[in-house]
């Protein structure tokens, strides 16, 4: 019984921590959108979320980390979607299906576009924004490697592939945010994938020619 009670207490404690973190994040994002990132202070956030400054810093080292935590949602959705694909699914299908699933989950957030614009228009966030791609690349590599035979020699190939896919996401995001798009997002993503696979195929041909000529 003591073990059960301890587990219940631990479960409640973790649930309370999660709820507090979510309340801080949700409150901060609302204030950033309403007042602007630079005009919102940590004191504004803690007062609106009804937490102490110490509690804020227990979860987020800075205001920028609140936005970074929101962005991590895409990585979480992507990794979960990769793991959910059938074991025998072709690698290209796994990547396309997983990214489309993550994109659908992300854009289902009604704040998504507003936060994307906030990041684009705030220098501090725009500079920090590039870090998410490095993190996403590492996580995608690990997720793909977990589906593979596990051979260490495969990691380099999957790392290169993950880097190419994440670069496509970065370029696609810049295109999407920089112009009015009448296409549905999945159709836009399909076009980006078509360009990516075609580019990799062309580079493969050039690489084989180069190797044969040596």
- Domains of the chain, each with CATH number or no CATH: 1-60 (1.10.10.60), 63-213 (1.10.357.10)
- Cβ atoms of residues 173 and 103 within 8 Å: no
Burial class (CB in 10 A: 0-12, 13-18, 19+), 156: exposed
- Per-residue pLDDT tens over the stretch 36-79: 999 999 999 999 999 999 999 999 999 999 999 888 888 999 99
Give the per-residue pLDDT at 33: 95
Does the pLDDT at position 109 exceed 90? no
């Amino acid at each position: 019984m003591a073990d059960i009670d301890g587990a219940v207490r631990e479960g409640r404690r973790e649930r309370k921590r999660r709820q507090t973190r979510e309340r801080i994040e949700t409150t901060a994002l609302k204030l950033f959108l309403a007042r602007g990132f630079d005009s919102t202070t940590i004191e504004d956030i803690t007062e609106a979320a009804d937490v102490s400054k110490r509690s804020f810093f227990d979860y987020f080292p800075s205001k920028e980390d609140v936005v970074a935590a929101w962005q991590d949602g895409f990585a979480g959705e992507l990794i979960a979607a990769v793991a959910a694909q059938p074991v025998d699914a072709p690698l290209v299908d796994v990547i396309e299906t997983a990214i489309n699933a993550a994109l659908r989950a992300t854009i289902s957030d009604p704040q998504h576009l507003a936060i994307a614009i906030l990041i684009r228009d705030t220098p501090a966030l725009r500079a920090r924004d590039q870090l998410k791609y490095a993190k996403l690349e590492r996580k995608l590599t690990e997720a793909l490697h977990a589906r593979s035979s596990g051979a260490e020699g495969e990691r380099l190939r999957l790392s290169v592939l993950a880097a190419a896919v994440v670069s496509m996401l970065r370029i696609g995001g810049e295109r999407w945010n920089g112009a009015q798009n009448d296409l549905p997002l999945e159709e836009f993503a399909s076009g980006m994938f078509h360009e990516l696979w075609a580019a990799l195929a062309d580079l493969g041909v050039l690489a084989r020619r180069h190797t044969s000529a040596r």
